[in-house]
Amino acid sequence: MEQLTHLKIDTSLCGKLVSCSTKEAKVALQTDSRMVADAEGLIHGGFLFGAADFAAMCAVNAPNVVLTGSTSRFLAPSREGDLIEFTAKVIEEEGPKGVVEVTGVCAQREVFTAMFKTYVTHEHVLKGR
Over residues 88-110, mean pLDDT: 98
With cut-offs at 50, 70 and 90, classify the pLDDT of residue 6. very high
pLDDT of the residue at 26: 98
Do the Cβ atoms of 88 and 72 come closer than 8 Å?
no
Note if the pTM is more than 0.85.
yes
Do the Cβ atoms of 104 and 48 come closer than 8 Å?
yes
Q: How many residues does the chain have?
A: 129
**For 9-50, how does the pLDDT look when each residue is reduced to its tens digit (9 = 90+)?**
999 999 999 999 999 999 999 999 999 999 999 999 999 999
Residue 119, classified by CB atoms within 10 Å of its CB into exposed (0-12), middle (13-18) or buried (19+), is middle
Do the Cβ atoms of 115 and 71 come closer than 8 Å?
yes
With cut-offs at 50, 70 and 90, classify the pLDDT of residue 73. very high
pLDDT of the residue at 128: 73
Do the Cβ atoms of 23 and 56 come closer than 8 Å?
no
- Tally Cβ neighbours within 10 Å of residue 38: 8
pLDDT at residue 1 tops 80: yes
Radius of gyration of the chain (CA): 14
**CA–centroid distance for 109 within its chain:** 18
Strand order in the sheet with 109-120: 16-21, 24-30, 83-94, 97-106, 109-120, 65-74
Domains of the chain: 11-120 (3.10.129.10)
Share of the chain above pLDDT 70, in %: 100
Q: What is the DSSP letter of 56?
A: H
Nearest-angstrom CA–CA distance, 121 and 102: 22
